[in-house]
Chain A
Amino acid sequence: NAGVTQTPKFQVLKTGQSMTLQCAQDMNHNSMYWYRQDPGMGLRLIYYSASEGTTDKGEVPNGYNVSRLNKREFSLRLESAAPSQTSVYFCASSEARGHTYEQYFGPGTRLTVT
């Protein structure tokens, strides 16, 4: 039982390049999320998917797109990377259990855009 996995762990991009961050969970959770974490700031929600087939914008969606490929996988795409997107990206998943919604996080992808 791997939980939430993310690839790659590290990535360096040049400004204007594109890339996709992959996330998968094996807990059969309906909901999945993408966050970014910057120094001195809390985790900020980029996009989320309440269930397979649906996606919605979070707090900071500009410059990103997402795909909920199936129940297990939720990918985050940067179409044209900018230095402001240098950050650590976390994927998470959750499921309702008696009205509690703890989130399970992946190990993160550290992205640098030069």
Chain B
Amino acid sequence: SQKIEQNSEALNIQEGKTATLTCNYTNYSPAYLQWYRQDPGRGPVFLLLIRENEKEKRKERLKVTFDTTLKQSLFHITASQPADSATYLCALSLSGGYNKLIFGAGTRLAVHP
């Protein structure tokens, strides 16, 4: 069956450290993968997109990798801050469609001072 898995347990890290979140998928062949941030009581906000032919994408303190062989994406936040505390969602988009996204359940990140 098709699955997208993100670590359901919260990730707790110390301010200043690098947070690494994982998104694994099975039985999909995504054309690209997106990461979103969601704060409590609010809608998701787009962060980064990476295509199947890209290995890595960066934006300020954020870095995303995409390994289509391992069927895995890693999302890194360097020099993390308490303001980075939120739930992070990964979403796959399959080729052939226009933009139907399939979301993982998200991982909650807590950055402690």
Report A's interface with B, CB cutoff 8 A. 4, 31, 35, 40-45, 48, 50, 58, 90, 92, 94, 96, 100-108
Contacts and interface: CB of A to CB of B under 8 A. Distances in A.
A107 B42 contact: yes
> Can you list the 6 inter-chain pairs with the closest CB atoms, starting with the nearest?
A105-B43, A42-B103, A101-B99, A102-B46, A43-B103, A42-B105
A107 B42 CA distance: 5
Contact of A43 (B42, B44, B46, B93): B44
28 contacts: A31-B99, A35-B103, A40-B8, A40-B105, A41-B105, A42-B4, A42-B91, A42-B103, A42-B104, A42-B105, A42-B106, A43-B44, A43-B91, A44-B103, A45-B101, A48-B100, A90-B43, A100-B49, A101-B98, A102-B46, A103-B34, A103-B44, A103-B101, A105-B43, A105-B45, A106-B43, A107-B42, A108-B43
A107 B43 contact: yes
B18 to A, nearest CB: 24
A42 B99 contact: no
Given A101-B93, A102-B34, A102-B49, A45 B100 contact: yes
Contacts of B110: none
B21 to A, nearest CB: 14
Given A31-B99, A45-B101, 20 more contacts: A35-B103, A42-B91, A42-B106, A43-B44, A43-B89, A43-B101, A45-B100, A45-B102, A48-B100, A50-B98, A90-B44, A101-B98, A101-B99, A102-B34, A103-B46, A103-B99, A103-B101, A105-B43, A105-B44, A107-B42
Nearest to A35: B103
Contacts of A48: 100
Contacts of B106: 42
A31 B100 CA distance: 10
Interface range, B side? 20 to 34
A37 to B, nearest CB: 9
B100 A58 contact: yes
Contacts of B93: 101
Contacts of A102: 34, 46, 49
